[in-house]
Each structure stands twice: as structure tokens, then as C-alpha cells.
């Protein structure tokens, strides 16, 4: 015999209400309406703000005592473990795609290249922030060296870490790619990048959220469209969980 208590009825009713709400949200009509909002946010960010505006830079005294490592903390694949074992001696960054002069570059060469150091705030999509110091090669420098095509619209970062078998990747538009603070960092807080923070090289795009800051970058590809790259939405979290491609908000 079933005893219907007021509490059960309340919880059951709430369950139906919730299921109804979630169904409305998941409907294609609602999703396309919400997409208008997403496009408006990206459009407005590019239209009404200075595209070259710099993210605030802090002093050493203002840094987080401990910078939280998040996402993949160690790719742990056989290939990656071998690279760690050899201290990334044979590691090579590849720059290709819609470029006139694709090239590869070792870690020592990258460290010898002109570098920018910046103490910036890292904002996770979850809501927390941490301030750290990053040193690396401006992405624009590498793209210019490869003579990137004027038809390229995005820069894709292919990474060494896997999420349940799927490679992590991210992408940015050309505005953020050529932004002076967009760097490929090989040092953090004055030390070579550690494994949990993305050794040997991670992206810093200072005007976007944490999931854009791709770690373990192996290859930089210039493309005209994000279609056909993995799930086609421009990044692992975008493909996998529907996170917004423009992570500036």
C-alpha cells in the first residue's frame, strides 16, 4: 500500500514542475532564442569595446598565495609521460593550417624567443579567480612568422591531454589571437610551467575565461571555419557540455 504523504506529494509535484521546466529549456525553439542572446553578447563585446583593451595587470604583492590548478592535472598518456621524462627535449610545437610558412619549434627556441611577462587574473567559468604571473611568447609573433592567411578567422589550439579519450582543444578569433596579452606561456610565477598547470606550454587569452586557457598545447592551427574540427563548436567544453564559445563573459 502506498502512503501519499504531503511531503511526497510536494516532492513529486516539484519533480514534475522541474521536468517541465527542463523540457521547455531543452526545446529547439528555446535554444535558438537563447542563442540570440549568446550571439548578442559576443557581438556587443566586439562592437562596443576597444578590441585592443588590455586586461588589468597586477603587482607581485597582489598575486594569489596558491594558484588553483584545474581541469586536466596530468595528461598521463604514454607519449606525454615520455616527454616529461625527457624534460620536453624532443617536444615540438607545430604551427600550421592556413599559413604560408608552417613550422615547428622546440621548447628551447620558444624560451629564447621574445617574451612578455604579465601578472593577470584567471577567471574560471565556475566563478573563482586566481592571480598569477605568466611569461611566454606572444601568439601574434608566431602567427606572423608563419605568415598566416588573411582568410583565416580562427586559431585552434590542439592539446596533449585527453578527456575520456577525446583530445582537449580550444579556439579564439583573430582579434584575441593578435591581442598583445595573448601569449603561449612557458613560465608561471617565474618557474618553468609545471605539469598540473600545462607543461610545457599553455595559452593565455586574458580577456576570456579559464576553459579557453588551453594547457599542454602541441599544435596551433589557423582555420577559416571551426566546422569539421572535432565536434565543430570550437572547443572541448563547447562540444561536450554546450559551454559558450565566446568565453569573454
Partner 1 sequence: MASIPAADMIPEVIAPSPSPMIYRTKLPVRIWHWINAFSIFVMLMSGMMIFNAHPHLYWGHFGANFDQPWLTIGNRGHAGYLWIAGLEVPTTGVLGYAMDTMRAFPPLVTLPGSYNLAGARQIHFAVAWMLGISGTAFFIYGIISGHLRRDLGLKREERSIAHLWHDIKEHAQLRFPKGEAARAYNPIQKIAYIGVIFVLIPVVILTGLTMSPTMDAAWPWLTEVFGGRQSARSIHFLCAAGFAGFIVIHLLMVVLAGPINEMRSMVTGWYRLPKENAK
From the CB of 2, what's the least distance to partner 1, in Å? 19
Nearer to partner 1, 55 or 84 (CB): 55
Nearer to partner 1, 129 or 147 (CB): 129
From the CB of 169, what's the least distance to partner 1, in Å? 17
From the CB of 44, what's the least distance to partner 1, in Å? 9
From the CB of 189, what's the least distance to partner 1, in Å? 14
**DSSP states of 85-119:** HTTTSS-EEEEEESBSS-EEEEHHHHHHS--EEEE
Helix axis angle, 6-26 to 28-48, nearest 10°: 60
Chain positions contacting partner 1, by CB under 8 A: 11, 14, 17-19, 21-22, 25, 33-38, 40-41, 45, 48-50, 53-56, 58, 62, 64-66, 68, 121, 123-131, 206-209, 237, 241-244, 248-249
Three-state SS for 114-133 is CCEEEEEEEECCCCCEEEEE
Q: What are the φ and ψ backbone dihedral angles of 203, each rounded to 5 degrees?
A: -85, 140
C-alpha cell at 120: 593577470
Which residue carries 571551426 as its cell?
226
Nearer to partner 1, 86 or 191 (CB): 191
Which residue carries 517541465 as its cell?
20
Nearer to partner 1, 200 or 210 (CB): 210
Amino acid at each position: 500500500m502506498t502512503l501519499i504523504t504531503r511531503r511526497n506529494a510536494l516532492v513529486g509535484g516539484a519533480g514534475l514542475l522541474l521536468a517541465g521546466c527542463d523540457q521547455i529549456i531543452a526545446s529547439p525553439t528555446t535554444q535558438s532564442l537563447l542563442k540570440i542572446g549568446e550571439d548578442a553578447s559576443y557581438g556587443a563585446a566586439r562592437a562596443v569595446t576597444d578590441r585592443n583593451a588590455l586586461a588589468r595587470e597586477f603587482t607581485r604583492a597582489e598575486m594569489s598565495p596558491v594558484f588553483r590548478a584545474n581541469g586536466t592535472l596530468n595528461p598521463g598518456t604514454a607519449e606525454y609521460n615520455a616527454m616529461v621524462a625527457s624534460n620536453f627535449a624532443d617536444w615540438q610545437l607545430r604551427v600550421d593550417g592556413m599559413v604560408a610558412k608552417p613550422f615547428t619549434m622546440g621548447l628551447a627556441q620558444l624560451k629564447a624567443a621574445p617574451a612578455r611577462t604579465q601578472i593577470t587574473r584567471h577567471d574560471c567559468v565556475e566563478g573563482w579567480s586566481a592571480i598569477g604571473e605568466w611569461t611566454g611568447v606572444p601568439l601574434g609573433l608566431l602567427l606572423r612568422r608563419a605568415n598566416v592567411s588573411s582568410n583565416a578567422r580562427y586559431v585552434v589550439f590542439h592539446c596533449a591531454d585527453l578527456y575520456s579519450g577525446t583530445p582537449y582543444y580550444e579556439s579564439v578569433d583573430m582579434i584575441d589571437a593578435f591581442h598583445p596579452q595573448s601569449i603561449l606561456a612557458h613560465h608561471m610565477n617565474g618557474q618553468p610551467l609545471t605539469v598540473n598547470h600545462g607543461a610545457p606550454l599553455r595559452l593565455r587569452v586574458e580577456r576570456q575565461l579559464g576553459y579557453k586557457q588551453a594547457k599542454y598545447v602541441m599544435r596551433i592551427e589557423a582555420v577559416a571555419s571551426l566546422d569539421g574540427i572535432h565536434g565543430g563548436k570550437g572547443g572541448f567544453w563547447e562540444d561536450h557540455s554546450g559551454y559558450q564559445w565566446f568565453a569573454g563573459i
